[in-house]
């Protein structure tokens, strides 16, 4: 093993093990053997694993399948997209009345802060009937691993959660070792919302993926918008960086339904090196912005885009 590779492995090991249980960042945390705290500050004692779960966020659903806890899911949100088996589960929506939820007899409803804050009357009504509601959504990769541990605790799948984290860490380490071998790294602009000229904030999952893949973010000095993972980076700023942008990445999803032609035809974007040279690539939002194991796919897909001779295609998550 060469010296550079040995140092990289030691550094990665430190990063992945530095945070101890109960001391994770953010409101969401493990508080001990049987207690967790969610994003709303609720503290829940998990006396036994929950067995009748309604998941109203696609990432929760996907992670429950990854934990092999899909047998505990009795309902999912209106638009489950992954894995395909999730589409066979009964559908629920915050727009449904409490009666539909109550009729299903759930013992746990998993939401995220957007639902928790936007449908307070429904949430309080369900809680008044003794149904546990838990709001979870990690904001960065460290919180994502805590989040997986919490889902493992809620479902009695702690070992599966530990395995997910181990798989993720191995994949990240592999990507970083590949990126370490690249001498001339490409400079990248990573678009979050095209029509508002926004990028991602430091610490966000998309920028984590870009860094692991060996890309240099040209929009590093940005601040989050209202505590989100989105940051302002105006059109003029993008154009000012234009000559130094080797690759233009854009996530595509509900919040950014963009395609290559939109970027090519944006007035003034002809000054951008990547646009002139046809180095514009669209990446699925679900593999760069969602806190699931498919973030590994996002890392390796970006790596393939930037350095096709160095990065192999990652085997897709089943």
Domains 3-163 and 184-306 are alike in CATH topology: yes
- Tens-place pLDDT, residues 161-196: 999 999 999 999 999 999 999 999 999 999 999 988
Tokens (6 digits) for 41: 């500050």
Q: Is the pLDDT of residue 254 over 90?
A: no
166 CB neighbour count, 10 Å cutoff: 11
Q: Rounded mean pLDDT of 134-143?
A: 94
* Apex 309 CA angle, 308 and 310, nearest 5: 90
- Residue 267 dihedral angles phi and psi, to the nearest 5°: -55, 130
Q: Is the pLDDT of residue 22 over 70?
A: no
DSSP assignment letter at 163:
H
- Tens-place pLDDT, residues 34-82: 899 999 999 999 999 999 999 999 999 999 999 999 999 999 998 878 9
Residue 294 is predicted with a pLDDT of 96
Can you name the CATH fold of 3-163?
Rossmann fold (3.40.50)
- Tens-place pLDDT, residues 90-118: 999 999 989 999 999 999 999 999 999 99
- Tens-place pLDDT, residues 283-293: 999 999 999 99
Q: Which of 263, 272, 295 is nearest to 187 (CA)?
A: 272
Q: What is the domain partition of the chain in residue ranges?
A: 3-163, 184-306
211 CB neighbour count, 10 Å cutoff: 17
This prediction's pTM: 0.86
Range scoring the smallest mean pLDDT among 54-63, 193-202, 222-231: 222-231
- 193 bridge partner residues: 198
Q: Is the pLDDT of residue 4 over 50?
A: no
Of residues 174 and 26, more confidently modeled: 174
Residue 313 is predicted with a pLDDT of 65
**End-to-end Cα distance, the chain:** 32
Q: Is the pLDDT of residue 10 over 50?
A: no
Residue 314 is predicted with a pLDDT of 58
Domain 184-306 bears CATH identifier 1.10.3210.10: no
């Amino acid at each position: 093993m060469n010296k550079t590779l040995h140092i990289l492995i030691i550094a990665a090991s430190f990063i992945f093990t530095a945070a101890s249980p109960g001391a994770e960042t953010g409101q969401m945390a493990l508080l001990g053997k049987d207690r967790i705290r969610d994003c709303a500050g609720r503290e829940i004692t998990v006396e036994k694993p929950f067995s009748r779960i309604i998941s109203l966020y696609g990432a929760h659903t996907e992670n429950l399948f990854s934990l092999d806890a899909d047998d505990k899911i009795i309902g999912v949100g209106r638009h489950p997209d992954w894995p395909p088996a999730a589409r066979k589960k009964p559908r629920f929506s915050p727009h449904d009345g409490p009666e539909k939820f109550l009729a299903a007899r759930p013992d746990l409803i998993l939401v995220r802060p957007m639902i928790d804050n936007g449908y307070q009357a429904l949430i309080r009504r369900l809680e008044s009937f003794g149904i546990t509601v838990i709001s979870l959504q990690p904001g960065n990769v460290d919180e994502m691993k805590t989040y997986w541990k919490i889902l493992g605790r809620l479902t009695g799948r702690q070992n599966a959660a530990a395995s997910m984290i181990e798989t993720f860490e191995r994949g990240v380490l592999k990507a970083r070792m590949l990126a370490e071998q690249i001498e001339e790294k490409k400079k990248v602009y990573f678009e979050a919302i095209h029509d508002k000229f926004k990028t991602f904030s430091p610490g966000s999952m998309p920028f984590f993926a870009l860094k692991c893949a060996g890309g240099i973010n040209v929009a590093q000095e940005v601040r989050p918008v209202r505590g989100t993972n989105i940051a302002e980076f105006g059109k003029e700023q993008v154009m000012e960086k234009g000559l130094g942008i080797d690759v233009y990445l854009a996530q595509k999803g509900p919040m950014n339904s963009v395609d290559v032609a939109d970027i090519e035809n944006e007035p003034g974007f002809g000054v951008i090196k990547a646009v002139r040279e046809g180095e514009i690539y669209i990446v699925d939002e679900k593999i760069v912005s969602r806190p699931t194991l498919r973030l590994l796919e996002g890392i390796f897909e970006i790596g393939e885009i930037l350095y096709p001779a160095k990065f192999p295609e990652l085997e897709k998550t089943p």
